[in-house]
Structure 1
Amino acid sequence: MPWISNILASAIVLAAQADDASMKEQIIPGESLDSRISACGVQVGRNEIAVLRPFIETSEQLSGHFSLAVKKQSASGTSASAQSGDFNGGKLGGTVAVDRPAKLSVEMTVTATDGKPLCRLAKEIDLGEPEIRT
């Protein structure tokens, strides 16, 4: 029954791709401050250079302002980076890239156009570990 081996081979490939995708990013969850926000936080790439991307998941189209500030301490020294801007339709922009290993202080705020807080995040994380430790 060659079709069974084809199905098994496809399942193995799909499982490997799913594992590979989950290994590329981790999520630092933020605190949702509004019932329209189902999730928020920062995605962190797991490559040698970690790219931090802020995100929100909303139940409706929202607009407002976000800010992301990252302070890094590593063998190469200490640095600070920040991104901020307006967003429309619930899609945040901006990224911050840092080298590994490093210890980070991450702060993010997201507010609606009317100034109502939507999400906040303030965490210390260690990018020297296989899993992010908060």
Structure 2
Amino acid sequence: MERRIGDVIVADEGIGAPVLVVHGGLSDEAPWAKVAAALGDRYRVLRIRRRLYRLELESDPATNLAAEVADVAAVAAFLGRPCVLVGHSSGAVVALEALVAYPDRFAGAVLYEPPLVVNEPLGGGVP
């Protein structure tokens, strides 16, 4: 079921302890539907649609990481209990920032393919 929590659009399905999914870039919550279906017998899975990727909205240059973190925090607060936060790719960055800013709203986290900052070649330099 799609619902609005404030200005945030969320796919909300399943029953049980809550899991909040923050999708990666250039996508939306749809690719996580099979995961939500697989977990739905044991967990309530909420898949947030990040505002940067909402095609029905006009591009808003004011959208930034802080706004996305606030969206995640609003959905977590709506749940009324700590949830497990799942972040994929750039969504993992949003998830990490939300964890730091609102640690009491989360029971744990899964970071899937988070971006890395690399200052030099992995495995050492090339001779």
TM-score, normalising length from structure 2?
A: 0.28
TM-score, normalising length from structure 1?
A: 0.27
Larger strand proportion of the pair: 1
Structure ranking higher on relative contact order (CA contacts 8 Å, 6+ apart): 2
